[in-house]
Amino acid sequence: MYMKVVPTRLSRNFTAYVLGKMAGSLCGAIWRATVGSGIRSSRPQQVLLAGVAPRLRFQFLSTEVELADKTATSTTTSFDTTSRYKEKPWDYLISEEYQERYGEQPVWTNYRRNHKGGIPPQKTRKMCIRGDKVCGNPCPICRDQKLGVDYRNVKLLEQFISPHSGSILDATQTGVCRKQQKNLTNAITQARDHGLLSFHIPIIEFQPTADYSNTHAAVNKTPPAAALQNQTAWYPWYDWQQPPEKEVARLRKMYKPFLKVEAAPS
């Protein structure tokens, strides 16, 4: 049974340390063998050996340096490629990379979300990217960071508009998460306001027999209520109602110790 060992940063540093020790030991062995063979008195050969020894050790350590340089170069290249379309995301849709990946089909054509059972979920997930963590099987917009949702990116927005009705496609059909669906809706509305996207305006036919004047009863002002005309309350219970004398006398007798003496009018 074989066990696969995944190289890590610690293991790479340890390997470089071991290789350095081996190079130093090898240089020492060559030096001792050379001195023991009687070349100690030869000054030019000692200078030559002293110059070769550091190069021999550097040869063992050069692989780690080259690996680090390649990793840094690839990281810089990928960052530049991603950020190249940040300011102008519509340039990505006319690039060769986009044609190789999607061709002439919309970006959501071959997207299928993994789900449990034979019945797909009735709504898409809330969002695919939370902070710096991307969920598994992200939606067509979140899986490709170069697809920028912008009102000027007309070619991308047209893929999410029905060519027959002109309405925005539902998220259950395209598989886009609800956050990106909201961004798409706002971008399409903004593009229509700027005149970048055409949309259908329903035609209203003029009927000659119809009455378009404002003199009939449906257009007149609403008459004021009768209560407002008589300067009375809107509801009858809003007016002051005098309580019965018997009820007032009973309450006065009950709360007589607590009632204040009313001053006689002068």
Task: Indicate the pTM of the whole model.
Answer: 0.49
pLDDT at 211 over 50: yes
pLDDT at 241 over 60: yes
> Distance of CA 252 to CAs 121, 241, 264, Å?
72, 18, 17
The pLDDT of residue 239:
82
Domain ranges for the chain, please list them.
9-83, 90-111+124-193
For domain 90-111+124-193, the CATH class is few secondary structures
pLDDT digits (tens, 9 = 90+) for 92-140: 999 999 999 999 999 999 898 888 888 888 899 999 999 889 998 899 9
Q: How far apart are CA 113 and CA 138, in angstroms?
A: 8
Angle at 178 between CA 173 and CA 183, to 5 degrees: 100
Q: How far apart are CA 131 and CA 128, in angstroms?
A: 10
Cβ(176)–Cβ(141) under 8 Å?
Answer: yes
**236 dihedral zone (left: phi>0; alpha: psi -120 to 50; beta):** alpha
Q: What is the dihedral of CA 258, 261, 262, 266, to 10 degrees?
A: -170
pLDDT at 36 over 80: no
pLDDT at 177 over 90: yes
Cβ(124)–Cβ(172) under 8 Å?
Answer: yes
Specify the residue for token string 């909201």. 182
